[in-house]
Structure formats: structure tokens, C-alpha cells
Structure 1
Amino acid sequence: MTLDVAHAEYAGGGPGFALVRLSGRARAAAPTRLALPALLIADGPSWRRLACVPGTALPAAGPDGPAFAVDFEVPLHLAVDGGAWWLEPGPTVQDGRVEQLAARVAALGAEVAALRQRVERDAATVPTDGAPTSAAVAVPRPRLRALRPTLPALLVAAGALALGDAAATVLWQEPVSALWAAHQQHGLAGDLQRLDQTFATRSPATAAAAALPASPQVRMRALATELERRTDGGRAVGELRIPRIDAHFVVVQGTGTASLRRGPGHYTGTALPGQPGTVGIAGHRTTYGAPFRHLDALRRGDAIDVTMPYGRFTYRVEGARIVKPEDVSALRDAGRQRLVLTACHPLYSAAKRLIVIARLERAAPRGAAAA
């Protein structure tokens, strides 16, 4: 079986990632189905394997090479890098589950059609001209005409709701997604508490810290690596507080669409607090809780606190700048530990990106990293 990629384009994107669509043809000796492929991207000396976005259909393969198209969410700092890309095909689906499911759907359709015919036939035999029997009891008929909303009333109500939503978005933030994000943050707070308990002592989950020297910095670095290894996208990793703009949110792993709907997202591929290099965190400014709505109000010297299961880190703002969306140079390693916050700019637009850079001022170990 051979797999040819005929075309690749950027089909859109959001903060921190680009939606890449790959299309081509898969050839095989006989018609079959393939499991979803993976995209391999060179990330410095290592390789990153990216899965297709959820909901992607299984590609088909055959002698005539049927066309397929799959989408991947690629972090921006990898999408603009010059590293090689490879499409890794999935294994052949041999157990016939797709065909069995299609046959079952067809059988259910036939059963529904037969049931509909039976109902229509029975309805045709019911007499419609008989008078009520002596056992029937008359009931008063309610007056519902006054309760029926007219079309103009419905249009006025819909317009009022739309106007209220627009006003709330301009003055505060988009209210519907804000409620959804608040619900997600509540659940993430519980996940973060359980994560703190896991990293509270030198348990088997943090066995890496038990064999290290007494240096808290070394233990924090080892536990940060362990946390990064075991955390999937959209899961809680830490807590972010910015007193100047009254921001307090749980940070999740990843900057894909699903992750940023839950809260600020840590750029996969950048350092975690306690590791050497740059820590990158992205967030929305108008939707899904708008955690970074007032990021442009930060000034030099303002404090940014990040609490991780293994340590507390205080950063001080050094400055801010506006860059193009594809400019990811601020996320690269600068030879020192620092924090970079990113968000779309200006408000209600993704035309540019706001970058806030802060230096590490203090790191205090906690949990298994503490002496």
C-alpha cells in the first residue's frame, strides 16, 4: 500500500496553532479502510506525532487511489519552522466493523420503513365519524389564542437577545461562552487539587524526585518533566494569577481550540515553570471567559504568579509588543527562564498578536520538590 500527499494548505487557525489540511490518494491492491494517519513534524532533534482532529472520517484505499482529506492542528511555532513533515498512514482496518455497521444501519432503516407502513395502515382503519360514547366526559377547551406569540413579537425578542449579547461582548465579554468556560474552570479546579495531592509527596508517581540530589531546583525540573509527560491536551497543569488585571485561572495543557475553550493554554513544546527556557501561555480576549482581555494593561514590574504542583513561581513583566500572528520568535529559548503570555490583538480581531514578556524573579519548591 502506498500513500501520496498531493496538497497541503493552511485552512485557518487560532491563537497558537494552525489548522492544516492534507489531501491525497491512498492506493491498495483491494478496496479497504485505513485507520486515521498521524503527522510527524521535526521539532529540533526530536519528532512530534500529531493526531487528526476529532471527527475525521476513516480514509479509503483501493486500486484506483480514492481521494482523502484529513485535518491537523499544528502549533504555530512548528507550522512556520523549516523542519520536515511526514504523513504516517494508519493500519488497515481488517475486521470489517465499518461494513458491519453500514449493514446494521441499512437493516434499521428497513425496520423503520416497515413500522411506518404499519402505522399508516392501522390509522386508515380507525373510524372518524363515530359519536362519543356514554362513558366520554366533556372537558373545557382552554383559550390559547392569547398566549400564542406572533411573528413580530418573536422577531423583537430575538433582536433584543442579539443586541444584549453584542452589548455584553463589547462591555464585558461574550456571555454564552463565558458561562461555559466558568463551568469548565470549576471542574479544572477540582482536577488541579487532585494533581496537587499526587505531587504532594514522593509517591510512585513522583519517584523521579526521590532519587535526585537535595537541590530543590533539580527536583522541580524533574517533576516538571514528569508532569509534561503524563498530561494530555486540555488537562490542568497549574494556576495563573495576575493581580494587576484581577485574573485567576487554571492553566491547561495545549493551545488547540478545545484546550483554549477551557482556559489559558500552555504552548506544547515550550518549557514548564521550573525547566530551562521560555514558558509560553496563550489565552482568549473576548470569548470563553476572556482570561487575557486586559493583558494590554500590564506594566513593567507587574507581578505574575504561576503555581504548579511542584513549585510556586513569581515573574516580573519586562515589556510588551505587537507582532504578526505567524511571528513565534518570542516563544524560543532565550537562554534564561522567562514567561511569555500571548493573545489576539486588538479586541474582537485576530489580525495581530499581543506579546507580554516577564522574567523569573523567584521559585519556591512545594510538594515532593520541597526539602
Structure 2
Amino acid sequence: MTLDVAQAQYAGGGPGHALVRLLGRARAGAPATAPPTLLAADGGRWVRLAAVPGTPVVRGDGAAFGVDFEVPLHLAVGDGQWFLEPGATVGPDPRVASLAARIAALGDEIAALRARVDAGEAAASVPPLAPVPDPEGDAALAAEPDAPSARATPVPRAARLRALRPGLPAVLMAAGALAVGDAVATVVWQEPVSALWASHEQAALNGDLDKLDATYATPQAADAAGANAETVTSPAQRMRALAARLEGTTRAGKPLGKLTIKRIHATYVMVQGTRASSLAKGPGHYSGTALPGQPGTTGIAGHRTTYGAPFRHIDALRRGDAITVTMPYGRFVYRVEGLKIVKPSDAAVLQSATTTTPRLVLTACHPLYSAAQRIVAVARLVSATPRGAAAPGTTA
């Protein structure tokens, strides 16, 4: 064992987990290692928990260390065993020199054996190679793959962790209240890796949308949609025709327009489709629902905690709030009529009350950190301004 654990204490927590801090000291003479992992018994299996991101290496030569782990609540308050496993060696390791010497000796024996075979000596006269002892390697091979390794250190449980058991419902209720509260001015959180990815995708989509706007600003776009000024004089009819063309030519994950919600400070390029690959880029248009400018309901979905979290604060929308959707052929302003919570299987919110009522419906998972329900914002169209090839006076 290279690490001695002196204390385990409860250091905080969050939705569904407790933050456990392990304090101890490295054995004298031990090499520096990467952050250790926590091996916990979970029923009939072992699970390995990595240290929280940013944990520094554990220095050797008897240095003290402190490592934090996010432990699922059912493990934190349970009775299973915990073990601390040192990470990979960082920097010079004295065992490397010993291993190198053994490899060199084995190479010399192989070279001598090859010389004797080449000289025509009988195989019987060749003594067998003596096994090279490796106590640590043999012990590691003998250990069960999913069980604590021979170097693992048992972790003492703190009394404070067991004290969590009676208050577990209160902890869960507090986590849920934090998750679903209107937290515009409080703690704002989103998954950082997916947020970085979404930011990169949005930057690329902005460039693609500029090109799309330029294409739909030409008379040729109106001609291709069968809505040139000579045959269709109404801007509303031209927007409808251009919307139908855009719907029919845009593949999943490609940009359609820009969504702006001032109340929650959200401006995103929206894409076609609501599959995971599309929503990883930004808000996605439900295929099969209308596009702005067409009669019926326009449905748009978005994430609340991952991939930029465009609809994280959708629950802050209020009646009368403006939502603007800018398409290559028009700018459409909607006013929120209300919010509702529905089951994930409830598709009625995406169906129009009539075949001609233009509405906008935004949907997202609810509550935060859960997909148990859907939160729906319903808005009605209050103005439509043609642009690009739909604007009056655009002729070939």
C-alpha cells in the first residue's frame, strides 16, 4: 500500500450525491501518483469513482493529501466497503529500474540460448530459464479483476456519513427544490464539456445561416419556390411558399433560422430535427410541424442542462413575453400565452387547435436534471414581417 487514509468526512453534496473528502498521507519513499480512485462495494459488484476534476497528483515521500469524491447517496449512506486505489505512477519510479534490470537479464539469457541453438547444441543440454520473481506483479495477477487490488487501502467511514441516513428524504427534497427553482439570479450550472461543444457548433451554424439568408434574399429563391412577384403578389403567400421550400430542402442538423427570447437572454440558431445529434447543436424544429409563415403550430425543442442549455430558464417566461423567430424569408414575433407541464408522451401540444391558427410551442425536459415530464411554453403570432425574397419589390 502506498497511501494511508486517516479520515473520511462529509464535505457537502448536490443532487443525488454526497461530496466525500478523504485525508491521509503517502507512505515514505512512495513515488508520486495520479489522483487515486475510490473503489466502493455496490451490492454484488464493485464500482470505481474518479476524483473530482482538477485534483492534483499525490506527492510521495510521506506528503499529506486530500481528495474529494462525488459518491452516490445510496453508497454514502450504505454499509458497503470502500477502498482507495492509488493512480498510475507520475515521474520516476524505483520499480522501473528493477524491472528494466530483469528485462535486460532475460534478454541476455535469450541471446545466449539463441547462440547455443545456432551452434547446433542439443536442446536437452539447455537448462530451462529460471522464472523472474515479481511479487507485486504476481499479486496483481492473482487478484480478482473487479476486486480491490493488493495496493488498495481500506477507507474508514465517518460517523457523519451514516448520519445522513435519517435525513435522506430532506436531502433529496432540497436538491429537487434547487433544480426546479427559478434560479436566474442564483447558482447557474450546465455541463461544461457539452456546453463547449454546443458553443463551437453555434459559431459554425451562424456562418451557415448567413449564407442561407443570402441565398433566400435573391429573386431566384422566390422563382424556385414558385412565388415570384409576377405570380404571387401577397407577401404572406410568398413567405408560405418559401417556408415550404426551406422545409423540404433542409436536412437534419442544418440551420433554419434564429430564435431570440429576451426574457431569458437566449439567442440561438435553431436547426432542423429533434434527434440527439441535432439538439446537441441548438434548439431543434420538430419535423412535421409548420415553419413560421405556414398555418399551424411551429414546434421547437431544446435542452435545459446540457449542450449550452438554451431552454434552461424557460420556466421564467411570463404571459406577454416576446419570442422572435427570424427566418431567411421573414421575421415573426410571438407573445407567450402560458406554460404547462405535460407527460413526455403527450403530443397534443404540438397539434393546432385549428388548421390555420399560427402558434409557437417550445418544449424542454422538466424538472431540471430529469426527463420525467415536459415543460411547454405556448405563444401566439402577433406580427410577421417579410424579408429576403418574400419582401415586396423583390423581382427577377
Change (3 A) 1:164 1:242: farther
CA distance in 2, matches of 1:361, 1:205: 25
Once the two structures are overlaid, the 10-residue window that deviates more, 169-178 or 179-188, is 169-178
Change (3 A) 1:147 1:296: farther
What's the CA shift for 1:334?
2.0
- Are the aligned partners of 1:345 and 1:353 in contact in 2 as well (CA < 8 Å)? yes
1:294 to 313, 316, 326: 313
CA distance in 1, matches of 2:30, 2:206: 45
1:183 to 200, 215, 234: 200
Change (3 A) 1:241 1:223: same
Encode CA deviations 1:82-134: one digit per residue, 9 max, x unaligned: xxxxxxxxxxxxxxxxxxxxxxxxxxxxxxxxxxxxxxxxxxxxxxxxxxxxx
Residue number in structure 1 paired with 2:389: 368
The structure whose Rg is larger is 2
1:201 and 2:222 correspond: no
- Are the aligned partners of 1:199 and 1:206 in contact in 2 as well (CA < 8 Å)? no
Task: Give the % identical residues.
Answer: 61
CA distance in 2, matches of 1:265, 1:165: 33
Residue number in structure 1 paired with 2:107: none
Residue number in structure 2 paired with 1:314: 333
Return 5+ residue gaps in structure 1 as ranges.
1-145
Residue number in structure 1 paired with 2:152: none
Return 5+ residue gaps in structure 2 as ranges.
1-28, 39-48, 55-67, 72-174, 180-186
1:150 and 2:33 correspond: yes
- The SS at the match of 2:353 is coil
Residue number in structure 2 paired with 1:160: 52
Residue number in structure 2 paired with 1:271: 290
- Are the aligned partners of 1:182 and 1:289 in contact in 2 as well (CA < 8 Å)? yes
CA distance in 2, matches of 1:182, 1:164: 29
CA distance in 1, matches of 2:69, 2:313: 22
Which aligned segments of 4 or more residues in structure 1 are displaced greater than 6 angstroms? 162-167
Change (3 A) 1:222 1:314: same
Residue number in structure 1 paired with 2:124: none
Output aligned runs, 1:197-276, within 5 Å: 197-203=214-220, 206-207=223-224, 208-210=226-228, 212-276=231-295
- Are the aligned partners of 1:189 and 1:250 in contact in 2 as well (CA < 8 Å)? yes
Q: Residue type of the partner of 2:299? A: G
- The SS at the match of 2:378 is strand
CA distance in 1, matches of 2:238, 2:231: 7
What's the CA shift for 1:201?
1.5
What's the CA shift for 1:155?
4.2
What's the CA shift for 1:149?
3.6
1:324 to 325, 329, 343: 343
- Are the aligned partners of 2:222 and 2:238 in contact in 1 as well (CA < 8 Å)? no
Change (3 A) 1:230 1:165: farther
CA distance in 1, matches of 2:69, 2:209: 35
What's the CA shift for 1:230?
0.4
- Give me the TM-score of the superposition, normalised by structure 2: 0.53
CA distance in 1, matches of 2:70, 2:266: 23
CA distance in 2, matches of 1:267, 1:187: 21
What's the CA shift for 1:148?
6.1
CA distance in 1, matches of 2:268, 2:212: 16
Change (3 A) 1:164 1:247: farther
How many positions carry a matched residue from both structures?
224
Q: Residue type of the partner of 1:185? A: Q
CA distance in 2, matches of 1:216, 1:257: 35
CA distance in 1, matches of 2:362, 2:312: 12
- The SS at the match of 1:217 is helix
Change (3 A) 1:159 1:223: same
What's the CA shift for 1:171?
3.5
CA distance in 1, matches of 2:293, 2:313: 26
Encode CA deviations 1:225-245: one digit per residue, 9 max, x unaligned: 000010000000000000000
